[in-house]
Structures are given as structure tokens and as C-alpha cells.
Amino acid sequence: MTRSLLLATILLLAGCQSPYALDERWRPLVEVVERPDLLVSDTIATTLGTRVYVADLDAFLERFPPESVEQEALLLHEREHAVGQLDAGLGPWLARYLNDRAFMWREEQVGWFLQLRRLQAGGRPLYPQVIAQALAGYRNLEGRMVSEAEALAWVQAVLAGTWTPEEPSG
Ligand SMILES: [Zn+2]
């Protein structure tokens, strides 16, 4: 390997690992970061504060290309978590998310609501059974977030337009 090729390879590797910056409109989110060691779940993306963490950034950008409906839908979901975390404080939010199934389910309902409605508006095919299975796979220290049957009924209500997030009280 020549020196210049080596240098090019190092730059390429560095490029793969550098964060994917997000446009202003996604604030408080600032970037998507590859941190395979950080992920404790098999979900696609994990948001902590102002950053979205993914196991493999290239794979993420292939599945959620810039400017695509898919990426926009996912970022709507993740931004919702970011806003909630910054509101409550990241520590308290995480403690509740990890220990309180009802809280986790409410947070995910709002995130998934935004994501599903955006995909639906973009004319993307949606498979309620598959989405319900994914939701039934969420767990925290208290146990399973939601049953597949409840998740399926909820996804169908969202897609039918009969479920919307509650207005914050007070
Ligand atoms: Zn979520």
C-alpha cells in the first residue's frame, strides 16, 4: 500500500465515523452519531439529549437517506424524545423510561404517531402487524412495554386517524 493510498484509506475511515449533521429544523437534535458500543437495545436509533445514536451510520443512511420521507419520519420520532428529555432532564427521563412501562409506552406512542403519520402522508406502505411486533419487542426493567394485540389495535387506530396524542394538561 502506498503512502497516499494509506492516507486516503485513513481519511475514508475517519469519514465513515464522523457524525451526520442535522439541519437547523431538527433542533434540539444536532447530529446522528455512530456508537455501536452505546446501544443497549436492537432498536434502529437511540436518542440521548441532542444526539441520535446508531450502530452503523452507513447502514442507517442507506435505510433512511437524506431528504427521504423515511428519514424525516424517523427524525420526527427521535426529536420528540429529545424534547421530552431536555424538558424533564435526561437523567430523570431515562430513569422513568427504563423503569415505568406506562411512561415508556406514552413516549413511544407520541414518537411512533409522528413517524407513522409522516410515512402515511408520504404514501409509504405500512404493515400494522409488523409495526405491532416491533412495539411488542420494546422492554424495560419492568417488563414488556405493550402486548402485540394492544399495539396492533393502536397502530390501526393511528392509521385510521382515530388516535391522536392527548393535549398536555395544564
Ligand atoms: Zn422511540
107 CA distance to ligand 1 middle (Å):
7
32 CA distance to ligand 1 middle (Å):
15
- Cα distance between residue 86 and residue 93, in whole Å: 9
Residue 22: all three cell numbers together: 442535522
Q: What pLDDT sits at residue 162?
A: 97
- Cα distance between residue 118 and residue 72, in whole Å: 8
- Average the pLDDT over 58-78 and give the result: 96
- Average the pLDDT over 2-25 and give the result: 65
- Work out whether strand 31-34 and strand 20-21 pair parallel, antiparallel, or are unpaired: antiparallel
128 CA distance to ligand 1 middle (Å):
17
Structure confidence by residue, pLDDT tens digits, 73-120: 999 999 999 999 999 999 999 999 999 999 999 999 999 999 999 999
Helix residue spans in the chain (DSSP H): 3-17, 57-63, 69-88, 90-99, 101-121, 128-136, 148-160
61 CA distance to ligand 1 middle (Å):
18
At 10, the pLDDT band (50, 70, 90 cuts) reads very low
15 CA distance to ligand 1 middle (Å):
27
Q: Provide the mean pLDDT of the chain.
A: 89
H or E, element range at 52: strand 51-54
112 CA distance to ligand 1 middle (Å):
7
12 CA distance to ligand 1 middle (Å):
31
- Cα distance between residue 35 and residue 53, in whole Å: 6
Q: Which of 5-14, 30-39, 43-52 has maximum average pLDDT? A: 43-52
Return the closest-CA partner of residue 81 out of 113, 41, 111.
111
